[in-house]
C-alpha cells in the first residue's frame, strides 16, 4: 500500500469487454466502531461516508446506486442504515453515529453483517452490477473468529471487497488479505485522506456504470 501523505486519489478507467446498462449497484460500508475510533477519528469517518453517499446520490446517476452502512466492535455489528437508494440515504447522514461505545474489534462480525445484507438482496428483480463492500478499521482484529473465511465467501460470490487501513495502528496485512486483491487495499493516514478516498470511490463507481466499465477493475485502478 502507498502511504504518501498527500490525500490525492485519481481514477484510472479503462474499458474492458464488460458492458451493462440499466442496472443497479449496492455499496455496503463496514466501519470500525470500536472505542479507538472515538472523537475526531469517528467524526472524520462519518464525514467520509457522507462524501461517498453524496457522490453516489448525484442526480446524474439516476438512482443507480443503493447503499447500506454498518459498524462493528468487539461484541457485534449494528446496521446503521439498511439498504436504501443513495439519494434517500442522504437524509439519514446527519444522524450517522459510528462509535458504539463497546470495546474490542471483531472484523468478522462486520463482514458477516455485510453478507447478511447482500443475502437479503438476492431474489429481487433488480438487475445488479456485482456489489462492493468497503471495510475500514483503525486497529487490530482482537476478538472472535478469523475474518478471512467470511471474506473468501463474499469474494467467491463476486463481491468486490475494498479495505482501508485507517490511521497508523491498523492491521494492514490483515486488511490486504481480506481485499479482493492487493490493488483493492488502501491506507488513509487521517480523516482528510479517508474523505478524499471515499469520495473518489463514489466518483469511480459513478463513472463505471454509464461507461460500461467493470467496477471491480476501476476500483483497483484508483491511484493513491
**Per-residue confidence at 8, pLDDT binned at 50, 70, 90?**
low
CATH code for residues 29-129+148-220: 3.40.50.410
Sheet hosting strand 77-85, strand order edge to edge: 77-85, 65-72, 25-32, 132-137, 160-166, 185-188
pTM of the model: 0.88
Mean pLDDT score across all residues of the chain? 88
Among 60-69, 142-151, 165-174, 207-216, which stretch is predicted with the lowest mean pLDDT? Answer: 207-216
- Quick count: other Cβ atoms within 10 Å of Cβ 104? 19
- Quick count: other Cβ atoms within 10 Å of Cβ 117? 21
Rounded-to-integer distance, Cα 131 and Cα 153, Å: 13
- Quick count: other Cβ atoms within 10 Å of Cβ 211? 11
Residue 1 clears pLDDT 90, i.e. is over it: no
Residue 213 clears pLDDT 90, i.e. is over it: no
Helical H runs in 40-128? Answer: 40-56, 86-89, 107-121
Domain locations along the chain:
29-129+148-220
Q: Using one digit for the tens of pLDDT, what is the confidence trace for 94-129? A: 899 998 888 889 999 999 999 999 998 876 666 788
Q: Using one digit for the tens of pLDDT, what is the confidence trace for 129-179? A: 899 999 999 989 999 899 999 999 999 999 999 999 999 999 999 999 999
For the record, the C-alpha cell of 9 comes out as: 486519489
Radius of gyration of the chain (CA): 16
pLDDT confidence of residue 29: 98
Amino acid at each position: 500500500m502507498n502511504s504518501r501523505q498527500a490525500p490525492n486519489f485519481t481514477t484510472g478507467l479503462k474499458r474492458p469487454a464488460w458492458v451493462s446498462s440499466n442496472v443497479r449497484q449496492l455499496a455496503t460500508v463496514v466501519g470500525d466502531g470500536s472505542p479507538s475510533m472515538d472523537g475526531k477519528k469517528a467524526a472524520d469517518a462519518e464525514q467520509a461516508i457522507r462524501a461517498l453517499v453524496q457522490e453516489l446520490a448525484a442526480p446524474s446517476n439516476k438512482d443507480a446506486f443503493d447503499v447500506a452502512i454498518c459498524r462493528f466492535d468487539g461484541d457485534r455489528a449494528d446496521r446503521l442504515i439498511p439498504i436504501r437508494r443513495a439519494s434517500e440515504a442522504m437524509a439519514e447522514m446527519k444522524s450517522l453515529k459510528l462509535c458504539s461505545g463497546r470495546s474490542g474489534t471483531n472484523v468478522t462480525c462486520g463482514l458477516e453483517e455485510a453478507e447478511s445484507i447482500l443475502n437479503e438482496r438476492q431474489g429481487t428483480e433488480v438487475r445488479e452490477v456485482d456489489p462492493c463492500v468497503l471495510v475500514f478499521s483503525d486497529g487490530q482484529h482482537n476478538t472472535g473468529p478469523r475474518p478471512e473465511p467470511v471474506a473468501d465467501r463474499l469474494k467467491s460470490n463476486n463481491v468486490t471487497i475494498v479495505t482501508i487501513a485507517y490511521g497508523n495502528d491498523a492491521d494492514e496485512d490483515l486488511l490486504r488479505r481480506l481485499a479482493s486483491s492487493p490493488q483493492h487495499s488502501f491506507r488513509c493516514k487521517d480523516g482528510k485522506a479517508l474523505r478524499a478516498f471515499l469520495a473518489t470511490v463514489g466518483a469511480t463507481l459513478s463513472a463505471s456504470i454509464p461507461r460500461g466499465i467493470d467496477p471491480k477493475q476501476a476500483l483497483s485502478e484508483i491511484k493513491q
